[in-house]
A and B are shown apart, each in its own frame.
Chain A
Amino acid sequence: AQSVTQLDSHVSVSEGTPVLLRCNYSSSYSPSLFWYVQHPNKGLQLLLKYTSAATLVKGINGFEAEFKKSETSFHLTKPSAHMSDAAEYFCVVSAVGGNTPLVFGKGTRLSVIA
């Protein structure tokens, strides 16, 4: 069975400061890991994905995530927050091999203060 735990339900940062959204995963085998973002009243957009090719994954809009197997973590970071980053972020796990359901974390709401 797979699961993800997002350690913060809400994170608030000032514009221009770094962003850190924390995620721990549990999986009995090598997982695929994703971060999705959901802006208010919008659908889900893929930010980045870990597919075992590299432990540091670069995504869209300046976001990165690092896969740390020893810590079972996949934290999302961005060096400098922008107002447009305010949204709900979901850490997601699935089995490698394709065509399997995604398991979502409960989400972290990111607020960016001007």
Chain B
Amino acid sequence: DSGVTQTPKHLITATGQRVTLRCSPRSGDLSVYWYQQSLDQGLQFLIQYYNGEERAKGNILERFSAQQFPDLHSELNLSSLELGDSALYFCASSGGWDHIYNEQFFGPGTRLTVL
């Protein structure tokens, strides 16, 4: 168990809808990262928050947004969903005592299916 939790585990929705994915980082970790894993694109970095502030952006669509709350949990919001958004979405955290080596701890993922 990595100590990172994600909810929900599975999400099935329709095109055009909006969903929210939630992540709680490991105790003591300040950074939260969101990654998308799909068959055609592999594992891609989407966005990073550090202690409530956006720190880095990767290949994140404008329809997607995220935030990190004062208790350090994070939410990834996906709107106007398309079939191609179907993927496994991982959250990872780092920034604890071992942060200098950037080891990231991954949650179990949320599998999103858009029908």
Contacts and interface: CB of A to CB of B under 8 A. Distances in A.
B91 to A, nearest CB: 10
B73 to A, nearest CB: 17
B99 A99 contact: yes
Interface in A28-67: 32, 34, 36, 42-46, 49, 51
Interface residues of B, number: 29
A98 B90 contact: no
**Dominant SS at the B interface?**
strand
Contacts, number: 66
B90 A96 contact: no
A74 B58 CA distance: 24
A44 B105 CA distance: 8
Given A43-B107, A104-B42, A106-B42, A97 B100 contact: yes
Q: In this complex, which of B30, B90, B104, B109 has the most chain A Cβ atoms within 10 angstroms of its Cβ?
A: B104
A102 B104 contact: yes
Interface residues of A, number: 24
Interface string A89-105: 01000111111111110
Contacts of A36: 106
B95 interface: yes
Contacts of B104: 102
Contacts of A46: 103, 105
Interface of A: 32, 34, 36, 42-46, 49, 51, 90, 94-104, 106-107
